[in-house]
Amino acid sequence: MARLKVGVLISGRGSNMGALLEACANPAFPAEIVTVISNKADAAGLATAHAAGVPTAIVDHRNRSREDFEAELNAALKSAGVELICLAGFMRLLTAGFVTPWYGRLINIHPSLLPAFQGINVHARALAAGVRFTGCTVHFVRPEMDDGPIIIQAAVPVAPGDTPETLAARILVAEHRIYPQALRWIAEARVQIDGNIVHLAGARAVEEAVINPQ
């Protein structure tokens, strides 16, 4: 069976890209990364992708219109034969003109339990709100920021004395677990979108209550 061809978009170190690369390095994994594209030439993740033998490209967003930038980005993805896009720390908002043609084929990971704490400064805002749990979410992308049907989430308890940095580090571990899982499910054609709801074939919800603090 042919593996799903994936393009990953990054702007920095590409930590989640690394988790996806590791998963896809297994020939039995149902997806393969065919290109990594960054809008920044100095993104550390480009070296990681290169070391893994994955072709890379740079599509600079500076000194040009958003339409021109997205047109070049789209052309680079199509040229590589990409069937699904994974955003992994890609720090550019994509317009409806880019997102809509990729409907159902464009996913993102966000470090909160969406729809809570959309946007930036997520961990500091979670701590300021006094939540007992936060976490991360993989979702299909829509033109609105950090919006779209949710595929999978991981809850991470907030610990006494947490700082934004310590909380972010624990959430990142969870991110590295759920992003490859979401990609696997999509590649196995187990995911179906119904409006704003994702139906997952063979899914089982965790029944045990998780309480914090105890």
**Active site amino acids:** 110
Instruction: Please report, in angstroms and rounded to a whole number, the separation of the first and last CA atoms in the chain.
Output: 47
Contact of 131 with 158, CB cutoff 8 Å: yes
Contact of 56 with 50, CB cutoff 8 Å: yes
Query: Rounded to 10 degrees, what is the CA torsion of 67, 68, 69, 75?
Result: 110
Q: Say what angle helices 164-187 and 122-129 make with each other, to 10 degrees.
A: 110
The pairs formed by 49-57 with CB atoms below 8 angstroms and a separation of 24 or more are: 49/8, 49/14, 49/17, 49/21, 52/21, 52/25, 54/21, 55/80
Tokens of 177: 């677990």
Give CA 189 to chain center in angstroms.
Answer: 18
